Chain A
Amino acid sequence: MFVVLTFSTAAERDKFEYIFNKYKKLMLHKAYGILGDYQLAEDAASEAFIRIYKNLHKIGDPDAPQCAAFLVTIVKNVSLSLLKREKSHEFQELDEFRSDGFDLEEEVLSRVSVEKMYRLIGGIHEEYQSVFLLKYAYGLSHKEIGGLLGISENNVTVRLHRAKKSLAELLRQEGYVNE
């Protein structure tokens, strides 16, 4: 049993070190782009890597484009949390998702081209976008997303709702949905 566990740990360590070495500059660069301060960017990248280490099993091929997107999603989210803390900006999470009757129609979604959707998803607020991607692109549960981003499950639900609402709003602006 110990042999297997030791090997597993060594493999995990190698995988993590590979990911760390490959993406460390990009992670710092992305964090710096949000925080504008090297020390804070290092704090964010460090925290993001620790969270990634804890969720290493969710990463398949470290060289796949999806891996880069996954890592950057995490570091951006951590950076935004740090930024909010630095600015002591209160981020109000309302229970709007419980009462709002908004919905994304299948018919509308099926008409949107991939290129257009790429632009639309890119236009969603980073904090909502990250939850949206972790849920739909990576298939994580709300609990897993909460653990990864350091937020409650309730917060995950709220942000996911807001992501879809933002998408619906952007689609409306693009003329896909009638007023």
Chain B
Amino acid sequence: MNEKEKLLKDMAQKYAESYGRELSDEMSRLSSSGEPYPTKNLEKRVMKQVRPQNRARNLRIITATAAALLFIIAGIRILQPVLSETPDSLGESPLEGFEAIALSFAVPEGFTQSGFEQDREKSVYYFEDSLSDDVVLTMEKSAEKPNTAGLTKLHINGSEAYASSGNGYSLLTFNKDGVLYELTCRYDVNTLMYFGNEIL
């Protein structure tokens, strides 16, 4: 950080501290004056959104762990008879015909891949966001354009894409090189744009 940036940082920090003290005084005045700001409805609205997130997160962790255990158990059961057979007698893999589509882009900064599953023809990747706006990416080989009903058309790096937000989640979809991409996250459509920028 250069000297100028240090000075700006110093000033901004002092400002935040002074402003915060001013706000604390204002808060005391608000409490003593009995300003009419009913907060019950606000509390209902905020807590309704926050509490399910905690539950959903715990549920996701438990579900993921259970799925991993089942996968291991199933893997052991499948492998046991297979290992005793000769190569000629091996049958088709349960996922035959549903090849996983590999990621062909750099995962944006701040995100880490937290999971993967092959849902028949769809490859589903899960990414954890350092800002808690986790992303799910579904990829499927298809020459078709995405279903764009109710979506807003936009361009990312010159390519067509479609997006929507609201209704509790954000969506970004497009087709690139015969692969249909569908990205969703809980909050901000801009979170998905980071991926769109990397992919397109």
**Residue among B3, B16, B30, B61 making CB contact with A26, cutoff 8 Å:** B30
Taking A136-B11, A151-B190 as contacts, is the C-beta distance between A69 and B37 under 8 angstroms? no
- From residue 131 to 157 of chain B, which have CB atoms closer than 8 A to chain A? 131-133
B114 close to A (CB within 8 Å)? no
User: Which size class do B's interface residues fall under?
Assistant: 35 or more
- From residue 61 to 76 of chain B, which have CB atoms closer than 8 A to chain A? 61-62
Bound CA span A147–B189, Å:
10
* Interface stretch of the complex, out of B42-50, B86-94, B95-103: B42-50
* Interface stretch of the complex, out of B18-26, B77-85, B117-125, B173-181: B18-26
- From residue 22 to 56 of chain A, which have CB atoms closer than 8 A to chain B? 23-26, 28-29, 32, 42, 45-46, 49-50, 53-55
CB of B17 within 8 A of CB of A66, answer yes
CB of B110 within 8 A of CB of A143, answer yes
Bound CA span A67–B21, Å:
10
CB of A46 within 8 A of CB of B8, answer no
Interface of B is mostly: helix
**Residue among B3, B9, B58 making CB contact with A136, cutoff 8 Å:** B9
Residues of A within 8 A of B11 (CB): 109, 112, 114, 117, 121, 136
- How many A-B pairs with Cβ below 8 Å? 151
CB of B188 within 8 A of CB of A147, answer yes
Residue from B4, B8, B53, B62 whose CB has the most chain A CB atoms within 10 Å: B8
Taking A54-B131, A136-B11 as contacts, is the C-beta distance between A49 and B46 under 8 angstroms? yes
User: Which size class do A's interface residues fall under?
Assistant: 35 or more
CB of A9 within 8 A of CB of B21, answer no
A88 close to B (CB within 8 Å)? no
B105 close to A (CB within 8 Å)? no
CB of B26 within 8 A of CB of A69, answer no
Residues of A within 8 A of B107 (CB): none
CB of A68 within 8 A of CB of B49, answer no
Bound CA span A105–B2, Å:
12
CB of A29 within 8 A of CB of B8, answer no
Residues of B within 8 A of A91 (CB): none
**Residue among A68, A70, A143, A146 making CB contact with B27, cutoff 8 Å:** A68
**Residue among B4, B17, B37 making CB contact with A25, cutoff 8 Å:** B37
CB of B133 within 8 A of CB of A137, answer no
Shortest Cβ-Cβ A-B pairs, 7 listed: A65-B20, A136-B12, A137-B16, A137-B12, A69-B20, A68-B23, A147-B131
Known interface pairs A20-B47, A110-B7; 7 further A-B residue pairs with C-beta atoms within 8 A, sorted by A's residue number? A24-B42, A25-B30, A49-B42, A50-B46, A105-B4, A136-B13, A137-B15
